[in-house]
Amino acid sequence: NAGVTQTPKFQVLKTGQSMTLQCAQDMNHEYMSWYRQDPGMGLRLIHYSVGAGITDQGEVPNGYNVSRSTTEDFPLRLLSAAPSQTSVYFCASSYSPGVNTEAFFGQGTRLTVV
Amino acid sequence: GESVGLHLPTLSVQEGDNSIINCAYSNSASDYFIWYKQESGKGPQFIIDIRSNMDKRQGQRVTVLLNKTVKHLSLQIAATQPGDSAVYFCAERVNSGYSTLTFGKGTMLLVSP
């Protein structure tokens, strides 16, 4: 059982480049989310999705786009990378946000923008 | 790259001691709380949860206490082991439709053999 899989694990981008962070889960979870983690800041919610075709903004959405065309996949797009987006990114999934279930996290993508 | 563990409050204990990690949450309407453990280079891992209609819940070597009066959550780890060394986060959820989790900044636990 793979759980939540994120790719790539590491990435270096130049300012202005675009890229997509991939996230896939094989648990048939409805709810998926993206967080960024910065030193001393904890985890901050970027975007989330409550099901295929439905997405919404979290606490820090600027500079990021998401889509949810299937239940399994929830990619995060950086349209024009900036040094302020240097961070560790985590994707998470849950069966449902309305049920008392914990979120399962991926292993993270460490992104550096130079 | 800079570790997410830098700039965090740190609790240092000896192997075999009991550890208590504290968390102050922000929203009196929060109805569900989770403790996560994050080891270096890994994603957060669920430890234990508690609903707001409870004040204590026990797991294997861990206990979570909830004091709604002062909006305080604590995680107690019994007989702490070197493998417990990690950053610990609390998270709260306000149940309002499609709810999301809000995470605390974390506490680093260092266990010495």
- pLDDT for position A97: 62
Q: Is A46 within 8 Å of chain B by CB?
A: no
Q: Is B35 within 8 Å of chain A by CB?
A: no
Residue B107 has pLDDT above 90, yes or no: yes
**Each residue of B41-73: pLDDT tens digit?**
899 999 999 999 999 999 999 999 999 999 999
Q: How far is B16 from chain A (nearest CA, A)?
A: 28
- pLDDT for position B8: 81
Residue of A nearest to B34 (CA): A102
Q: Which of A42, A44, A110 sits opposite B1 (nearest CB)?
A: A110
Residue B82 sits at φ, ψ, to 5 deg, of: -55, -30
The span from the CA of B45 to the CA of A104, in Å, is 7
β-partners of residue B87 are B38, B108
- pLDDT for position B99: 66
Q: Stretch A74-103: mean pLDDT, rounded?
A: 87
Burial of A94 (C-beta count, 10 Å sphere; 0-12/13-18/19+) = buried
**Each residue of B11-48: pLDDT tens digit?**
999 999 999 999 999 888 888 899 999 999 899 999 99
**Each residue of B80-104: pLDDT tens digit?**
999 999 999 999 987 665 567 888 8
Residue found by looking up tokens 């300012």 in the block: A15
Judged by CB atoms closer than 8 Å, whether chains meet at A97 and B99 is answered as yes
Contacts of A88 in chain B (CB under 8 A): 1, 4
* Residue ranges in chain B assigned as alpha helix (H): none
**Each residue of A48-58: pLDDT tens digit?**
998 999 999 99
- pLDDT for position B85: 97
- pLDDT for position B7: 66
User: What DSSP designation does A67 have?
Assistant: -
- pLDDT for position B2: 41
Q: Is A27 within 8 Å of chain B by CB?
A: no
Q: Is B50 within 8 Å of chain A by CB?
A: no
Q: Is B45 within 8 Å of chain A by CB?
A: yes
Q: Stretch A66-70: mean pLDDT, rounded?
A: 97
Judged by CB atoms closer than 8 Å, whether chains meet at B43 and A97 is answered as no
Residue A67 sits at φ, ψ, to 5 deg, of: -150, 160
Q: Residues B72, B24: contact at Cβ < 8 Å?
A: yes
Judged by CB atoms closer than 8 Å, whether chains meet at B46 and A104 is answered as yes
- pLDDT for position A101: 67
Q: How far is B17 from chain A (nearest CA, A)?
A: 26
The span from the CA of A54 to the CA of A70, in Å, is 10
**Each residue of A1-42: pLDDT tens digit?**
679 999 999 999 999 999 999 999 999 999 999 999 998 778
β-partners of residue A32 are A49, A93
Residue A40 sits at φ, ψ, to 5 deg, of: 75, 5
